[in-house]
Structure 1
Amino acid sequence: MDSAAERVAALLLAFGRRGTTGDHSVSDLARAVGRERSQVSRMLQALGRGGLVEQDSHTKRYRLSWNMLVLAAGAGDSSLLRAARPVLRALVARTGEVALLSVQRGNRSLTVLREESNQSLRAGGWVGRSSPLHCTASGRALLFDTDDDLVAELVAADLTTPMSGLSAPRTIEEVLERLRIERDRGYSMASEEVEIGLTSVGVPLRTPDGELVGVINVSGPTSRMINRLDDAARRLHGAATAIEGTLGRMLS
């Protein structure tokens, strides 16, 4: 039998697995964790009193609180976060678009750092958000070193529920073909695959011994990004080199 702490952990993790919106109904969360709606409602009320989730007064839906997002921003590999933050800020200043750092967690791309300017499109991943691997620039870049069999295993569940009307790949063959192209050119690109009007470009980050530890990407309106893909990739490669150099010095 799982403990109360394990039940709370499962509920909090469910916020990162549910679709593309940050707000969730009690019923949706109950289905996600396989528990009674009344039990989940009581847990959410307790988490709300503790400042970990908040409820919209109009829709009655729940979202993670800023306290949780701040905790997420400080979690994980602090060396990677410290190395990336100033470089992403400079990248935002040069591109005017949102810049993000993501890492792989199971079959998801998890956003751990986000920088934006006042002119940035307020879209793309927020800190603590997880996204599918097969239809995001960060996700596919995280798969650059993954063999085809494991790619198929990681994306299989998401391919069974394709997002209608978007440009996401619908079969494992399409995923692998996009990966082959993106590996060859050195960057991933997802245009309107996960969100209409949004285009993202991603580049892997590696340790000095070549291990892929994360991805940085820039996201912006398709109308602005679609004719700037090569420039965005060039800037991302420069940013990745700077982050990797700092990370190497931190780890030496």
Structure 2
Amino acid sequence: MSAPSSLLQGIALLDAAVVQERSGRQGHNASRLSEATGIERSRVSRLTRELLDLGYLERDDTAVFHAGDEYFRAAGALSRPWLRAAREDLRVLASRLGVSAQLMAAEGPGAILLRSEKGPGVSADYLRPGIVTPIWCTGPGRALLWDHTREELQVLLDDVQFVGVGGPGAARSVDELHGLLERDRERGMVDAHEEYVEGVQEYALPIRDDQGIVASIGVSGAALSARRVREARGALHDAHAHLTRLVQEP
């Protein structure tokens, strides 16, 4: 397996810092971030400096890291009325279909999870609000790329490490990703099989306002029967239509 890219290691560090901060326990300094993520100490120092410069992390007088202004700016859409209202749509999807339902927004080559709900008995511990995942290998993440051309994908993902990231069905190059998007557009919906987590099927759609794609909605769970797939796609279309109306309201 190839070494993780700087992007993915940076995402891991940011996620570890935010999770620790939200837990109410003492925050992580560089040494504890290294222990929590398994990333060597010297690399943690370099990457956290970059995250500090970009504003995603802040460091206090005790050298403990906290979420920075840019992190909260990226998640700031949580204050929008349509996104608060989306909680009920996600709950209905999750409980009706027995899946997890998510809303995501783009953050460079990553996708930030804005909100999620899980159906009864669904185990998806990796879905924590605020987590940033690679945008190309989750269903809702790829929905955020729906309007991207091949050239735009190349620019966005020029520095990412495809190999070794995601599940067995994940794209391993920009060309593979572009091919999956072309197929999704023909089908009218993102259909991602084992692209982020082995054994998980995902369906997703982009949500637009008058400026373009602002978020995506998706569901994920174990492989479904043909009848349940039709039900899931129909329910997702209904939720997507409702949220699109809310997003586009003046």
TM-score by length of 1: 0.70
Greater mean deviation of Cα atoms: 193-202 or 212-221? 193-202
Q: Which 5+ residue runs of structure 1 have no aligned equivalent?
A: 1-10, 36-41, 54-68
Q: Which residue of 1 aligns with 2:140?
A: 138
Alignment correspondent of 1:92: 94
Q: Distance in 2 between matches of 1:226 and 1:198?
A: 15
With over 3 angstroms needed to count, the CA separation of the structure-2 counterparts of 1:193 and 1:45, relative to structure 1, is farther
Q: Give the superposition deviation at 1:143.
A: 0.6
Q: Structure 1 86/160 Cα, relative in aligned 2: closer, same or farther at 3 Å?
A: closer
Residue 76 (structure 2) aligns with: 75
CA distance in 1, matches of 2:165, 2:11: 24
Please state how far the C-alpha of 1:171 moved relative to its aligned partner. Answer: 2.1
2:14 paired with 1:15: yes
Alignment-derived partner of residue 24 in structure 1: 37
Q: Which residue of 2 aligns with 1:61?
A: none
Query: Would you say how many aligned residue pairs link Structure 1 and Structure 2?
Result: 211
Q: CA deviation at 1:72?
A: 9.0
d(CA) in 2 for partners of 1:17, 1:163:
18
Q: Quickly say closer, same or farther: Cα 1:247–1:196, change in 2 above 3 A.
A: same
2:193 aligns with 191
> Counterpart amino acid of 1:245?
R
Secondary structure class of the residue paired with 1:158: coil
- AA at the equivalent of 2:103: L
Q: 1:130 to 1:164 in 2, by over 3 A?
A: closer
**Residues 73 and 32 of structure 1: CA distance in aligned 2, closer, same or farther (over 3 Å):** closer
Contact 1:17–1:130 under 8 Å retained in 2: no
Greater shift in the superposed pair: 191-200 or 173-182: 191-200
Does the CA-based 8 Å contact 1:97-1:220 persist in structure 2?
A: yes
Match of 1:201 among 177, 183, 203: 203
> How far apart are 1:15 and its partner, in Å?
1.8
Q: SS state of the match for residue 85, structure 1?
A: helix
Contact 2:105/2:114 (8 A) holds in 1: yes
Report the 3-state secondary structure (helix = DSSP H, G, I; strand = E; otherwise coil) of the residue aligned with 1:156.
Answer: coil
* Residues 136 and 194, structure 1, Cα contact 8 Å, conserved in 2: yes
- Relative to structure 1, is the Cα distance of residues 210 and 94 closer, same or farther in structure 2, using a 3 angstrom cutoff? farther
CA distance 1:147–1:156, shift in 2 (3 Å) = same
Question: 158, 181, 184: which is aligned to 1:182?
Answer: 184
SS in 1 for 2:158: helix
Deviation at 1:165, TM superposition (A): 6.8
Give the superposition deviation at 1:168.
1.1
Which residue matches 1:33? 48
1:45 Cα offset (Å): 6.5
Secondary structure at the aligned position of 1:143 is classed as coil
Report the TM-score when normalising by structure 2.
Answer: 0.70
The 3-state SS of whatever aligns with 2:191 is strand
Letter in 2 for 1:184: E
CA distance in 2, matches of 1:12, 1:200: 22
Deviation of the 1:43 alpha carbon: 6.4
Quick one: percent identity of the two aligned structures? 26
- 1:123 and 1:146 mapped to 2: Cα distance? 30
> Higher mean Cα deviation, 26-35 or 114-123?
26-35
Residue equivalent to 1:220: 221
Q: CA–CA distance in 2 between the matches of 1:44 and 1:230?
A: 55
Partner Cα distance (1:171, 1:17) in 2: 27
User: Considering only aligned residues, what root-mean-square deviation do their CA atoms show, in Å?
Assistant: 3.6
Q: Give distance in 2, aligned partners of 1:173 and 1:12.
A: 24
What CA distance in whole angstroms lies between the structure 2 residues aligned with 1:176 and 1:106?
A: 17
Compute the displacement of 1:33 (Å). Answer: 2.6
Q: Distance in 2 between matches of 1:225 and 1:101?
A: 24
Deviations 1:138-172 (A, max 9, x none): 12110111122011222233345443872211122
Partner Cα separation in structure 1 for residue 226 and residue 153 of structure 2 = 27
Give the Å deviation of 1:192.
1.4
**Mapped pair 1:244 → 2:244:** yes
Aligned partners of 1:124 and 1:219 also within 8 Å: no
